[in-house]
Structure 1
Amino acid sequence: MKLGPLNHVGVATPSIPESIAFYRDVMGATEIHEPFDMPAQGVKVCFVDTPAQDGGQGTQIELIEPLGEDSPIHGFLKANPKGGQHHMCYEVPDIHVAKAEFEAMGKKVLGEPRIGAHGTLIFFVHPKDMGGVLTEIMETPKDG
């Protein structure tokens, strides 16, 4: 299995507006995208772009806030009331091939591929099989 580039780091937060202020005022965010609801996943999402360094590329942060009482993020925020890193997301060229390869390695894939916040197919791999980090696998967007 060869993962593609890191696409984003997911950060659970009890308040997207407060997190936006932090990334803008403290971390120097270069772009703050419009927050949007993802009812099927029980979250509100906002992408924040951090500055590039030395001609490189910045990192995209996915802020994730619970949307409704059934949100899977509630459990994370109960254990981490101020929020924190929730997952890391890597790109792959073919989501179905990647899923089959993870399963063939004995990794616990959480659910079937579904549409994620970037509008492409995603799935998650359990932290116990990924060095303690919940890992999102995302099919590379067709527009790059």
Structure 2
Amino acid sequence: MIGRLNHVAIAVRDLDAACAIYRDTLGATLTEPLPQPEHGVTVVFVNLPNSKVELMAPLGEGSPIESFVERNPNGGVHHVCYEVDDILAARDRLKAGGARVLGDGEPKIGAHGKPVLFLHPKDLNGTVVELEQV
């Protein structure tokens, strides 16, 4: 059901500082910051030859990652994103198997302009999983 790894997301408090580490220390190419108000984050993608790293910082009050960065002030891995061909079929299959979809269960448009869903970490070895339709 899952396809290739799309990205690994790292939640950070200071997006500029995180970008400087990847750009200046690691020599990576980064996208411009992209506010995602519907998701409560601002993201920057680090482009890699075989995937991406998503740096994301809280955006606005009530950001869903605010408590994560409070518990992890230096940042940390927040989720992994896998590609799927049909997000609704994947959602239905996962729910039938007992996995919980976060939020209202309906896909939202993500930073790549494609439908995404997030799955509860307690159902997937303690890791938040994002599914993105290709």
TM-score greater than 0.5 by the shorter chain: yes
Distance 2:126 2:82 in 1: 15
**Other-structure match for 2:21:** 22
1:26-78, CA deviations, whole angstroms, 9 ceiling, x for partnerless residues? 3331x21010111111111111113x4xxxx2x30111111112111111011
Distance 1:76 1:99 in 2: 25
Q: Which TM-score applies when normalising by structure 1? A: 0.87
Identity %: 47
1:92-143, CA deviations, whole angstroms, 9 ceiling, x for partnerless residues? 0011000001001111111321111111001011111111110001101xxx
Q: Which amino acid aligns with 2:36?
A: M
**Other-structure match for 1:138:** 132
Q: What does 1:1-80 align with in structure 2 at a 5 Å threshold?
A: 2-29=1-28, 31-50=29-48, 52=49, 57=50, 59-80=51-72
Q: Which amino acid aligns with 1:88?
A: V
Q: Which amino acid aligns with 1:23?
A: Y
Q: Which amino acid aligns with 2:63?
A: S
Q: Which TM-score applies when normalising by structure 2? A: 0.93
**Other-structure match for 1:104:** 96
Q: Which amino acid aligns with 2:47?
A: D
Distance 1:36 1:137 in 2: 19
Distance 1:134 1:38 in 2: 18
Structure 1 unaligned residues grouped into runs of 5+ = none
Other structure's SS at 1:7 match: strand
